[in-house]
Structure 1
Amino acid sequence: MSDARPILIVDDEPALLETLSEQLSLDGEFAPTGAATAAEAEAMLSGAGSRFDAVLLDVGLPDGDGRELCAKLRRAGLKIPIIMLTGADGESDVVRGLDSGANDYIPKPFKLQILLARLRTALRTFDNSEDAVFTIGPYTFRPASKLLQDTARNRRIRLTEKECAILKFLYRAGGRPVGRQILLNEVWGYNAAVTTHTLETHIYRLRQKIEPDPTAASLLLTEGGGYRLDPAAGRAAA
């Protein structure tokens, strides 16, 4: 996994597509990919090995209505957030967009910071839903079920609430190291009674569960005064 979250932008306006792609790429938080038609977007979303965390979808596309594409994607089982972008902002237009399965409906012209805030909100909501699924090494990680599953070895690993929270926060750090105190505060809150020793104990137990060799960690690494998750480790061998 790269540091950035992959986002598909579906819009037939080249200038807007270019601007959105540039702005979303600025701080490395997102990795945008563009599509100019409904057919192109559908092919990219259904392609083997494709992965997008969210879709920004224009209503007016040269080969169809974005709302119809949204409904079709939902019927096909796509669960990730879809945010509609449109110049039609009447009440009936908004209702049609949301009824098609969109998570949000943003009229043009829009302010970029508002779009980013609503995109982040949609992603946070999805990440905490029953539908969220992440890949960590050979495992499929389902935070809502507190479960790691290694289908290649027919292995299921149950996680505690804290173990699940640690993995989810490190995954969302995008491969960057997270300091012990930051991770402690995120998982346990600002509790003076909980020390870094508590975190280290949980990390030790988590490694016993997920690492092929807990004495030579490859997934959950100690780095930079904290910990870093390498979700790509171990996939080739799986």
Structure 2
Amino acid sequence: MNGTAKHNGHVCPQHILLVEDEQDLAKLIILNLKALNYSVDHATTLKQAMHIIEHKKLDLILMDRMLPDGDGIMLCEQLRQDGKEVPLMLLTAKDSEADVVLGLEAGADDYLVKPFSVLELRARVKALLRRGKAQHEQTQQIEFNSVTINSSTREVTAFNKALTLTAREFDLLLFLAKHPQQVFSRMQLLEAVWGYHYDGYEHTVNSHINRLRNKLSLCSPEHDLVKTVWGVGYKFSPPEVQAH
């Protein structure tokens, strides 16, 4: 069943906030989300969005970047700084790689460039909501010699240092760590971690891998936990099996 989740035995629609000031586009998106049985709130400004976020429990936020009272990236950054991990997808006409990286670094889980197809929007929304649901259901801790990853608290400790990761960086590290020494292509990671399979989005994986590596290297520069296998992809190499 699309768009529903069980709470205390009752089936409740998953709740999405759309922040979009283009009325025609907003109507189209809302129509499609409601067709999938999602509950939708609509805001046209950052101020309206913040009010809804503060007063309602949300399963997903879809946010335009260029809004009347500012850039959606500012709200994205604020939410992550406040510790709110609700999945967030940016919707924008800004399509340069620099803009995509800026959005991802701000803490967005996905970045969809306008104009987009309704089918692609639906697929990505479903993928983000599936991942969010799975995160709540899983309680697991992965431990290596000097690295601990807790999927319940979403905390990572590497070489006795706490690591601050975005939601997507955490998901990427968790997936790789569940399959130590196994090599995954960028497309495999895109499908497994992002939940969709589209050519041309491999640079999204590269950007996240690079930022994840940079953060891990701050904990222990001499350990390369996420290794590149040239011409193939990436793998997680636990510290106890690395050559010294």
- State the TM-score bracket (shorter-chain normalisation): 0.5 to 0.7
The SS at the match of 1:55 is: strand
Tell me how many residue pairs correspond in the alignment: 131
- What is the aligned counterpart of 1:32 among 30, 34, 40? 40
Report the equivalent of 2:108: 102
Structure 2: how far apart are the matches of 1:27 and 1:86? 23
Structure 1: how far apart are the matches of 2:11 and 2:50? 23
Indicate yes or no: 2:26 matched with 1:17.
Answer: yes
- What is the aligned counterpart of 2:68 among 62, 65, 83? 62
Report the equivalent of 1:118: 124
Q: Give the Å deviation of 1:15.
A: 1.1
Contact 2:59 2:132 (C-alpha < 8 Å) held by counterparts: no
Report the equivalent of 1:186: none
Contact 2:18 2:62 (C-alpha < 8 Å) held by counterparts: yes
- What is the aligned counterpart of 1:81 among 87, 90, 106? 87
Moved more, 118-127 or 90-99: 118-127
Larger Rg: 1
Task: Give every structure 1 segment of 4 or more consecutive aligned residues whose post-TM-superposition deviation is greater than 3 Å.
Answer: none
Structure 2: how far apart are the matches of 1:15 and 1:2? 31
The SS at the match of 2:103 is: helix
CA gap of 1:107–1:18, structure 2 versus 1, over 3 A, is same
Report the equivalent of 2:138: 144
The SS at the match of 1:88 is: coil
**One-letter amino acid matched to 1:112:** V
Structure 2: how far apart are the matches of 1:99 and 1:80? 16
Structure 2: how far apart are the matches of 1:64 and 1:100? 15
CA gap of 1:103–1:27, structure 2 versus 1, over 3 A, is closer
**One-letter amino acid matched to 1:25:** K
* Structure 2 alignment gaps of length 5 or more: 1-9, 141-244
The SS at the match of 2:112 is: strand
CA deviation string 1:92-146 (max 9, x = no partner): 00000000000000000000111111111112222222xx3xxxxxxxxxx2238
The SS at the match of 1:121 is: helix
Structure 2: how far apart are the matches of 1:61 and 1:14? 12
RMSD: 1.4
**One-letter amino acid matched to 2:42:** G
Structure 2: how far apart are the matches of 1:52 and 1:2? 16
Report the equivalent of 2:97: 91
Q: Give the Å deviation of 1:22.
A: 1.1
Indicate yes or no: 2:57 matched with 1:51.
Answer: yes
Q: Give the Å deviation of 1:2.
A: 5.2
Structure 2: how far apart are the matches of 1:73 and 1:64? 15
Contact 2:18 2:63 (C-alpha < 8 Å) held by counterparts: yes
Structure 2: how far apart are the matches of 1:76 and 1:127? 21
- Given the two structures, how large is their TM-score scaled by the length of structure 2? 0.51
The SS at the match of 2:138 is: helix
Q: Give the Å deviation of 1:31.
A: 1.2
- What is the aligned counterpart of 1:4 among 10, 13, 17? 13
* Structure 1 alignment gaps of length 5 or more: 133-142, 147-238
Structure 2: how far apart are the matches of 1:144 and 1:23? 29
CA deviation string 1:42-72 (max 9, x = no partner): 111012xx11100000000110100111010
Structure 2: how far apart are the matches of 1:98 and 1:39? 22
